[in-house]
Amino acid sequence: MEKVNPKTSRLQKFKKIFDNKLRHQIENSPPDVIKKYIHGSLFKHLDDSKVIICSQAQGSPLGIVFLALFIFLFLGFLKGFKEMFLFPGSIFSIICSLLILFGIIYKFTIPTKEIILNRETGMFTFPGYMWRREATLPFQELIVGWFGAGGVTGNLQMELVCRHPKEWKKGARLYGHSNLYYENWSFYVWYMDKNRPLPPGDAFDPYREKDFLRRKAEGFPPPLYKSYIPTPEATLDQQAEREQYWTDEQYTEKFEREEGSEWYDPEIHTDWEETWFYEPNTNIPVANRYVKFVFKDRRIIYSKSKEDGSLYEPPESEDFEMQFINIKK
């Protein structure tokens, strides 16, 4: 086992709550984008040059209207509607009226909330909060991470989030066709790498030939972002033609896991703790390294350290061995 030095502090753990940054690389194979996803509540538009995702971050103002109306009616039946126009009931009536008015105005004046991935220009757009305007910036400058919050079942739910690199007040939740934040992020990166084929799924099939011919006319430039999975062409003939310029072996890191092994999942392994690893006798973090956890019951779980050397590992109560492994390119 390769020797590394773990270092942990309460301050570091506190800071990491706000620093779960993801790299611009394809680490997982996203689910296929199928045609039924192309509708008004998920993918508003999709082709070889642009994807528009409907943002669900902005809740419907109708909820505010119905809630205020329910409170007014409930108190009216309970106390009598005449009492609702006399003090102190008039205070609740005014509050409910203002909430209803706010909800109606908000409904008809709020700007459209969309997440736009422009594969052609490399620009990315995410919506602003409430009436604030959207933000557009180069995709490679986007700062993306995950945010964990308790769900209705009490389990930890991981959300994909982004923020502007220069304007810290600008940020948004990001959505996709998967319930797993890391699969959605891999889809984003894959699609925005215009030098790779389009992501998997029959929704992209009508545009694959056009996209292939564009990349061919450009001389099949190399990929923009690293991948840990193959990103093949749609046909064997296209694959052979592209491989005259570059191959997956050049720009895809090979990583084969044992049958039955699994990846670390923060939604499942909730008792794992974050630790920071450094090269022996240095302050150099062990960054972006894969780790293999082998348990006494023969389970195998893989994880990966972040840029700063942070890594989630099982609690000390579990019997396991940990190994840093090398990836074959």
What are 57-89's pLDDT values in tens digits? 455 556 666 677 777 677 677 766 666 666 776
List the structure tokens of 224.
Answer: 């923009």
**CA 234 distance to own-chain centroid:** 26
Neighbouring C-beta atoms of residue 292, cutoff 10 Å: 18
Assess if residue 17 is contained within a domain: no
Give the tens place of pLDDT for each residue, 17-32. Answer: 345 678 899 988 899 9
Q: Are residues 96 and 148 in the same domain?
A: no
Assess if residue 236 is contained within a domain: yes
40: pLDDT confidence band, cut at 50, 70 and 90? Answer: low
Q: Are residues 208 and 226 in the same domain?
A: yes
Range of the domain at 297: 5-11+261-325
Residue 169 confidence (pLDDT) = 67
Domain count, the chain: 3
Q: Considering 200, 233, 251, which residue would you say is the last residue of a domain?
A: 251
CA angle (116 as vertex; 111, 119 as ends), nearest 5:
160
In 3D, which of 149, 147, 135, 178 has the Cα closest to residue 37? 178
Assess if residue 256 is contained within a domain: no
HSE-up of residue 299 (Cα within 13 Å, Cβ side): 11
Q: Considering 189, 217, 251, which residue would you say is the last residue of a domain?
A: 251
Question: Cα–Cα distance between 81 and 85 in angstroms, integer?
Answer: 7
Q: Are residues 180 and 287 in the same domain?
A: no
Question: Cα–Cα distance between 242 and 212 in angstroms, integer?
Answer: 9
Task: Please indicate whether residue 288 or residue 270 has the higher confidence score (pLDDT).
Answer: 270
Q: Are residues 231 and 137 in the same domain?
A: yes
Question: Cα–Cα distance between 111 and 135 in angstroms, integer?
Answer: 13
Q: Are residues 173 and 216 in the same domain?
A: yes
Question: Cα–Cα distance between 161 and 206 in angstroms, integer?
Answer: 30
Q: Considering 191, 224, 251, which residue would you say is the last residue of a domain?
A: 251
CB 248 within 8 Å of CB 230: yes
Task: Provide the sign of the torsion angle of the four alpha carbons 191, 193, 198, 200, taken in this order.
Answer: negative
List the structure tokens of 79.
Answer: 């106390």
Question: Cα–Cα distance between 98 and 110 in angstroms, integer?
Answer: 17
Q: Full-prediction pTM beyond 0.75? A: no
**Secondary structure class of 57 (helix, strand, coil):** coil
Question: Cα–Cα distance between 141 and 163 in angstroms, integer?
Answer: 10
Residue 191 confidence (pLDDT) = 98
Given a cut of 60, whether residue 4 has pLDDT beyond it is no
Mean pLDDT of 207-220: 97
Q: Are residues 195 and 291 in the same domain?
A: no
